[in-house]
Structure 1
Amino acid sequence: MYQPSLFNSFFQGGFECSTHRRGDGRRLDLLAATGHDRWTAEDYAALQRQGIGTVRDGLRWHLIERRAGDYDWSSFLPQLRAANACGTQVIWDLCHYGWPDDLDIWRPGFVERFARFAAAAARLVREESDTVPFYSPINEISFWAWAGGDHGYFNPLGLGRGAELKHQLVRASIAAIEAIREVEPRARFVQVDPAIHIRASNDRPGPQREAENARQAQFEAWDMLCGKAWPGLGGQPEYLDIVGINYYSDNQWYLGGPTIERSHPDYRAFQGILAEIHQRYGRPLLVAETGAEGDLRGDWLRYVSEQVGIALQRGVPVEGICLYPVLDYPGWDDERHCPTGLLGFADAEGRRELHAGLADELRLQRTRFAAFEPRQRVAPA
């Protein structure tokens, strides 16, 4: 049985902090849209009351560095100081799909400037706190390459350039890690990407090899980071520190077909996915994003928690489960109310309604996982 030790709380909360530009050119800022930038301290305190002492949160690079090398930390310092004041441990996303407007993501300068920004952020964090910092350099490299490089869903609106974008983001992540370690050798890093499962349809016999190749693509960014693939990018095992796994109910599907429902025999148990990823990399795992909408929230947390519990019993080193997004938020494309959070939208005083069903399930799972609560604050790398 594995005993988690990395984070202050096993159950965590993730704040949606996307800052990408949509296809119509509009830039999103989910920290502002959810009011978290205004009510950071209140949000951290509300999660503390639910037993959540570790969160994922983000820096908005496009606001901090509007001109090269000129850093305005006014959008970040309130978050950093609120976390320090209430004792919340944060995994800081440095680049969550967005970058400054004057920077070309396809050029070498993107990598160099991101590394300098990462070092500057790490220096500020070190000045404000003496705790071991956690960073997620670039969120979802594989998904970003697919959405922004192959299908033009959001910036940089590439078509058929997914591999090129993936290589660029891997280079940037490696450069950022090196820059941060120069400033803060104790820093830990979470490399986040979705975990998926793809099958050829049984009722429409399909190409099994093609389905398996599509499934294997989920490992490409992690393989590049640790040097298993494309070693010319500079990957080394030490760049894959903690493997962050994003997992939702629609992360399994038939090749060219619909989602595989959890009740179907073709659905792969999540604990098996976790075991495969650990066997492949031998690194600690974090369920970095998971959640559902509406009344399904509690049931989904129950399933994921049960599967993680089985994995822990079998020795798979899962360090935590992050509810994501932990706040309701306006949808990327249509701004609809997405009821996914443990907490809803804030009122004029920063108060947010607690979703009773999810809160009850979280309370139950925290009781069941009491034996897995961390015994120490931070384990060495």
Structure 2
Amino acid sequence: MFATGIECSYPTLEGGRWRMDQMAACGHYRHWRTDLQLVRDLGLRYLRYGPPLHLIHRGPSQYDWAFLDEVAAEMQRLGIVPIMDLCHFGLPDWLQNFQNPEVPQALADYARAFAQRYPWVQFYTPVNEMYVCAKLSALEGLWNEQCRDERAFVTAVRHLAKANVLMMQAIAGERPDAVFVNSESGEFYQPCCPDPEIRRIAAFENERRFLPLDLLYARPVQDDTRAYLLQHGMPVEEYAWFMQQDVRRRAILGVDYYEWNEKLIDSTGHAQALGELFGWYAVAGQYYERYRRPMMHTETNRMDARDGPRWLWRQWHNVQLIRQAGVPVVGFTWYSLTDQVDWDIALREPLGNVNPVGLFDLNRDLRVVGLAYQHLVRLFGADLSEAPPIEAVLDEASKVAPQKMRRLHA
């Protein structure tokens, strides 16, 4: 699945006083018809698309589908296959933030209503980048609840993971053949030196990065990680509930990768951006070994537009290499279709900085990386036409995964 995406983040800031809505900042609400046509002009069919949750989900059992009805009809007319991204870094005002225990059930209700409204949609990302959302909202104090403590982080992880599980179950209840692309940020922490404390911090962060996916996929965590969860507010019975769920069978693991995803734990114990040290091949390989799910490269881009084509090809060669190693990778994504706004400062202020990361700029003019991606798709699309269908890949993964996971647990 060669794909792109519409940048759709909408976290709140300053205690919820205002919202950073990227669909508004990037002009999608005004240019959505053009944007959908641009997807097809590039020769793409698959589109990661995040309907604006904060505008649609108006209250308990209250939905405003007007905007999305038009978008969905145009997608069908153009033959676009959306991967619907139902919760992307933010919540409606009435749900406040990710510390609210009512969030999981409210999002499950929304997912069920969504699947009933659009029964033709098969691909879903119920909750985007759970780890990043919890970290920036509850540990680093940037978005939504803007907390900076371990208990708030664990609470956000619990609620995000539970929402994801319940949403997948709700959607599957309406459409049993739904496919879930669980997109997560591919992170890695490297200790700077052999100091035992620095190595301990790096080891902890390398376990923490997996927490939301461990809960989602019912993978038992290490004893010390479980103690961390219980110490910071996860009830024993809730952990047991996660371990009893099974939503993996129809799941594709999406691993996002940017130049800042690999980090160095420096001599003071703080994480610093390391750049591309090992690359998507190595980092995604760690996620595959842990979960043994079919994979998709679900996000990448480059802040330096001049280097965009080179970065694109580097990521694609990583995908080719890991496929040759036997890892079932079923998709690749340049994110996003257009340039984005204020991502160089993680959306923390409304400065209006245009980040030239898109296949098109905000005037909807094609960038060089857009031409490069169009060429890549033309070059390799036909070559991959004989790849097994998604259903066959999911079925095969379901046969081999349980045995592998038992070995890992042992």
TM-score, structure 1 normalization? 0.88
Change (3 A) 1:157 1:239: farther
Change (3 A) 1:159 1:357: closer
Compute the displacement of 1:234 (Å).
5.3
Compute the displacement of 1:377 (Å).
5.8
Give, in whole Å, the separation in 2 of the partners of 1:54 and 1:147. Answer: 28
Partner of 2:236: none
| 2:353 is the alignment partner of 1:336 | yes
Compute the displacement of 1:201 (Å).
1.2
Partner of 1:137: 126
Contact preservation (8 Å) 2:312, 2:369: no
Compute the displacement of 1:315 (Å).
1.0
SS in 2 for 1:290: coil
Contact preservation (8 Å) 1:174, 1:239: no
Partner of 2:174: 183
Change (3 A) 1:361 1:59: closer
Residue identity matched to 1:316: V
Change (3 A) 1:306 1:112: same
Partner of 1:199: 190
Give, in whole Å, the separation in 1 of the partners of 2:144 and 2:372. Answer: 38
Partner of 1:260: 274
The structure, 1 or 2, with the larger RCO (C-alpha pairs under 8 Å, 6+ apart) is 1
Residue identity matched to 1:363: H
Change (3 A) 1:244 1:186: same
Contact preservation (8 Å) 1:31, 1:37: yes
Partner of 2:78: 86
Partner of 1:281: 291
Aligned residues: CA RMSD: 2.2
| 2:118 is the alignment partner of 1:125 | yes
Contact preservation (8 Å) 1:150, 1:159: yes
Partner of 1:98: 90
Contact preservation (8 Å) 2:126, 2:182: yes
The equivalences for 1:208-357 within 5 A come to 208-229=199-220, 230-233=239-242, 236-239=245-248, 241-255=251-265, 256-262=270-276, 267-293=277-303, 294-331=305-342, 332=347, 333=349, 334-346=351-363, 352-357=364-369
Moved more, 20-29 or 67-76: 20-29
Residue identity matched to 2:153: G
The structure 2 residue matched to 1:29, chosen from 18, 21, 34, is 21
Per-residue CA distance 1:142-177 (angstroms, 9 max, x = gap): 111111111221002222110111001111111111
Contact preservation (8 Å) 1:23, 1:152: no
Compute the displacement of 1:374 (Å).
6.1
SS in 1 for 2:352: coil
Give, in whole Å, the separation in 2 of the partners of 1:99 and 1:72. Answer: 15
SS in 2 for 1:39: helix
Per-residue CA distance 1:247-284 (angstroms, 9 max, x = gap): 0011112112533243xxxx214212222222211111
Residue identity matched to 1:21: T
User: Percent sequence identity over matched residues?
Assistant: 26
Contact preservation (8 Å) 1:41, 1:83: no
The structure 2 residue matched to 1:110, chosen from 103, 127, 131, is 103
| 2:391 is the alignment partner of 1:379 | yes
SS in 2 for 1:322: strand
Change (3 A) 1:374 1:14: farther
Change (3 A) 1:93 1:357: closer
Change (3 A) 1:235 1:152: farther
User: Which structure is higher in helix share?
Assistant: 2
Give, in whole Å, the separation in 2 of the partners of 1:224 and 1:87. Answer: 35
What residue ranges of structure 2 are gaps of 5+ in the alignment?
A: 221-238, 395-410
Runs of 4+ in 1 over 6 A off after TM superposition: 203-206
Change (3 A) 1:202 1:314: same
